[in-house]
C-alpha cells in the first residue's frame, strides 16, 4: 500500500473551524482598510527572481537562504515564489502606470513563501496583509500607517502589542555610519559569530539586529545611526513622533531596529508582543523612498507595512475576541419523496429571505436527522414529512430553547422564523 501523502512541511492546511475565523478576520481587515481609503490590488504568487534580488538585496537572509526559486523548464526563466509583497506591488504599480497621475493607497493579502525552519508563528507558507502608500513624501503618512495599526489592535481587542520605531536616515547618512560601524566591528572581529563575520563588509547594519546573546554588549556599544542623521532626516523623524504623541500612541525608540530588507530608509517601525515567544513581531514596515526608481520607475516616495496573519490570529483567538464558528439559522429535516421536494423549496425560500440554511442530505430516519440538527448549532429545525408536504405546511421546532413546535403554512415560514429568531435574541438580551 502506498504511503498517505502529506502537506509539505511548513505549509499548513487551514481546516473549517479555523478557516471561519480567518474569514471573520479578513472581513474586519477589509472594513478597516476601506475606512482609511485603501484599495485592493492582487499580484501573482510567482515573480521573476531578479525582482527580489534587486529589491530586497542579494546579501540578505531572504535572498541568500530562504527563497523558493526555480528555473521554468519551458523557457529557462528564473522564477521565485514571492517571499514578501512590497516588491511585487511596486512592480505592478510601475508596470501599469498607477503613479502617473496621483499617489496610491493600496493593500493586498495572501500567501508568501520562505524556506525557514518551521515553528509556531513562522511557517514556509505564511500569510500577510500588506499596505503600501505610494507617492507620499511627508512624515504624516508614516505616522498614519502607525495609527492605522493601533486602531486595528483596538478593533480586534488586542493588548500587549508595543510600538518600536527608528530612523535609518538617507542612503548617504547610512554610508557614513556604515564606515564607522565597520571600523568599530573590525576591532571586535574575533568575537563575531559566523553570521557577523559574513555580514561585516556586505551588510554590517544587520549585525545590530543579532539575537546572539554573546554579541549584545558589542552591538549596544556600536556607533548609533541616529548620531549620523542630518537635519532633514531628524526633522522627518521628529514629525512622525509629534503626530504619535498628539494621538497618544506610546512608543520606544529602538536604535537597533534596522529591518531585514535593504530598501528601507528613514522611518522604520515594528509592533511587537511578548505573547508569541521568539516570534514576537506581528507587524513591521517603514519608508522605502528609493525602491520605485530601483525597480525601473520614475522616482517616487513610498511607505508601507506588512502584518503576519498567523501571528495576529493566534493573539486574537487567545484574547477570546474571535467569533469562532458561525452556526446556521435553521436545519431542514425531511422524510419521504414529497417531503424531500418540499424541503428543497423551503430551504431555497429561506435562503432568498437571507437566512443561513443547512438542508439535510443523504437520507436517514427523522431521529438520526434530528441528531444532526442538534449538532449543527442551529436554533431551529424545519421538519417536513409527506403529510406536511401534502398540506403545503412545515413544522418549526426550537432546538436551543424550550418553545413549542408549531405547524405553519410554508409561505409564512420566513416571516415566522424571523420573528422567532428575534424573540430568542430578545430573551438572551443581545438585541
Residue ranges of E strands in 168-309: 252-253, 265-273, 281-287, 302-308
Which DSSP state fits 210? -
Closest CA to 155 of 18, 29, 324, 20: 29
CA angle, 152 as apex, 235 and 278 as ends, to 5°?
Answer: 85
Determine the pLDDT at residue 208.
Answer: 80
Kindly give the confidence (pLDDT) of every residue in the chain, 431 residues in length, as a single tens digit, with 9 standing for 90 and above: 578 899 999 899 999 889 999 999 999 999 999 999 999 999 999 999 999 988 887 767 778 788 889 999 999 999 999 999 999 999 999 999 999 888 999 999 999 999 988 777 678 999 999 999 999 999 999 999 999 999 999 999 998 899 999 999 988 888 888 888 888 888 888 888 888 888 888 778 778 877 788 888 888 888 888 888 999 999 999 999 999 999 999 999 988 787 656 678 899 999 998 887 666 889 999 999 989 999 999 999 999 999 999 999 988 988 888 777 788 999 999 999 999 999 999 999 999 999 999 999 988 899 999 999 999 999 999 999 999 999 999 999 999 877 789 999 999 999 999 988 887 544 443 33
Residue 101: exposed, middle, or buried by beta-carbon count in 10 A (0-12, 13-18, 19+)?
exposed
Distance CA 254, CA 245 (A): 17
For the CA atoms of the chain, what is the radius of gyration? 28
How does strand 39-40 pair with strand 68-71? unpaired
Q: What are the distances in angstroms from CA 194 to CA 63, 82, 190, 222, 372? A: 18, 27, 10, 18, 60
CB of 121 closer than 8 Å to CB of 128: no
**Which residues, in sequence order, are bridge partners of residue 167?**
267
Residue in this structure with the C-alpha cell 502537506, named with its chain if needed: 7
Distance CA 403, CA 381 (A): 12
CB of 47 closer than 8 Å to CB of 95: no
Determine the pLDDT at residue 59.
Answer: 67
Q: DSSP secondary structure string, 167-205?
A: E---HHHHHHHHHHHHHHHHTTGGG--HHHHHHTTT-GG
Instruction: Tell me the pTM.
Output: 0.83
Determine the pLDDT at residue 358.
Answer: 94
In order of their start, the domains of the chain are 16-169+229-319 (3.30.930.10), 330-420 (3.40.50.800)
Amino acid at each position: 500500500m502506498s504511503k498517505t501523502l502529506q502537506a509539505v512541511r511548513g505549509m499548513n492546511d487551514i481546516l473549517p473551524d479555523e478557516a471561519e475565523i480567518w474569514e471573520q478576520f479578513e472581513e474586519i481587515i477589509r472594513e478597516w482598510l476601506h475606512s482609511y481609503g485603501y484599495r485592493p490590488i492582487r499580484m501573482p504568487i510567482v515573480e521573476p527572481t531578479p525582482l527580489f534580488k534587486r529589491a530586497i538585496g542579494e546579501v540578505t537572509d531572504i535572498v541568500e537562504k530562504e527563497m523558493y526559486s526555480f528555473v521554468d523548464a519551458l523557457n529557462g526563466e528564473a522564477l521565485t515564489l514571492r517571499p514578501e509583497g512590497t516588491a511585487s506591488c511596486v512592480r505592478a504599480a510601475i508596470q501599469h502606470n498607477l503613479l502617473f497621475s496621483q499617489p496610491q493607497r493600496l493593500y493586498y493579502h495572501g500567501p508568501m513563501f520562505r524556506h525557514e525552519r518551521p515553528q509556531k508563528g513562522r511557517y514556509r507558507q505564511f500569510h500577510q496583509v500588506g499596505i503600501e502608500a505610494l507617492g507620499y513624501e511627508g512624515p504624516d503618512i508614516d505616522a498614519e500607517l502607525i495609527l492605522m495599526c493601533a486602531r486595528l489592535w483596538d478593533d480586534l481587542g488586542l493588548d500587549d502589542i508595543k510600538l518600536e520605531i527608528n530612523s535609518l536616515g538617507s542612503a548617504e547618512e547610512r554610508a557614513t555610519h556604515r564606515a564607522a560601524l565597520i571600523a568599530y566591528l573590525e576591532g571586535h572581529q574575533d568575537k563575531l559569530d559566523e553570521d557577523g563575520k559574513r555580514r561585516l563588509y556586505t551588510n554590517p547594519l544587520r549585525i545590530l539586529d543579532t539575537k546572539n546573546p554573546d554579541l549584545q554588549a558589542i552591538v549596544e556599544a556600536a556607533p548609533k545611526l541616529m548620531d549620523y542623521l542630518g537635519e532633514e532626516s531628524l526633522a522627518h523623524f521628529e514629525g512622525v513622533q509629534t503626530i504619535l504623541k498628539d494621538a497618544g500612541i506610546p512608543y520606544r525608540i529602538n536604535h537597533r531596529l534596522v529591518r531585514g530588507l535593504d530598501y528601507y530608509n528613514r522611518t522604520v517601525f515594528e509592533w511587537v508582543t511578548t505573547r508569541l515567544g521568539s516570534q514576537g513581531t506581528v507587524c513591521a514596515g517603514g519608508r522605502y523612498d528609493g525602491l520605485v526608481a530601483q525597480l525601473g520607475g520614475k522616482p517616487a516616495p513610498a511607505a508601507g507595512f506588512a502584518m503576519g496573519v498567523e501571528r495576529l490570529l493566534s493573539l486574537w483567538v487567545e484574547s477570546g475576541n474571535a467569533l469562532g464558528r458561525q452556526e446556521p439559522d435553521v436545519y431542514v429535516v425531511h422524510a419521504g419523496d414529497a417531503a424531500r421536494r418540499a424541503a428543497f423549496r423551503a430551504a431555497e425560500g429561506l435562503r432568498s429571505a437571507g437566512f443561513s440554511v443547512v438542508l439535510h442530505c443523504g437520507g436517514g430516519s427523522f431521529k438520526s436527522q434530528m441528531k444532526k440538527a442538534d449538532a449543527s448549532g442551529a436554533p431551529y429545525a424545519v421538519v417536513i414529512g409527506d403529510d406536511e408536504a401534502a398540506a403545503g405546511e412545515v413544522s418549526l421546532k426550537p432546538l436551543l430553547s424550550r418553545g413549542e413546535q408549531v405547524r405553519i403554512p410554508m409561505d409564512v415560514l420566513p416571516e415566522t422564523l424571523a420573528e422567532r429568531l428575534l424573540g430568542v435574541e430578545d430573551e438572551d438580551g443581545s438585541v
